[in-house]
Amino acid sequence: MPDLTTLALFAAAPLALLLVPGPAVLYIVTRSVAQGRGAGMVSVLGIHLGSVVHVAAAALGVSALLAASATAFAVVKYLGAAYLVWLGIRKLMSRPDDAEAAGPPVASRSRMFWEGFVVNVLNPKTAIFFLAFLPQFTDPSRGPIAPQILLLGVIWITLGMASDGAFALLASAMAGRLRRSARARRRLDVTSGVVYIGLGAVAAFTGENAAAARA
Tens digit of each residue's pLDDT (9 = 90 or more) over 37-89: 888 999 999 999 999 998 998 888 766 666 677 677 677 667 767 877 887 78
Give the range of the structural domain holding residue 105, as residue numbers without chain letter. 24-214
Examine the pLDDT at 102 and tell me if it is beyond 60.
no
Count structural domains, the chain: 1
Let me know if residue 5 belongs to a domain. no
Q: Is residue 179 part of a domain?
A: yes
In a domain, 130, yes or no: yes
For residue 1, being part of any structural domain is answered with no
Q: What is the chain's mean pLDDT, rounded? A: 74
Residue 89 lies in a domain: yes
**Would you call 65 exposed, middle or buried from its count of C-beta atoms within 10 A (0-12, 13-18, 19+)?**
middle
Residue 10 inside a domain? The answer is no
Answering whether pTM is above 0.75, one says: no
8 falls within a domain = no
pLDDT at res. 166 = 92
| pLDDT for the residue 215 | 39
Query: Alpha helix (H) ranges present in the chain?
Result: 4-18, 23-35, 37-60, 62-68, 70-92, 96-102, 109-121, 124-133, 145-179, 182-205, 208-214
Domain membership flag for residue 79 = yes
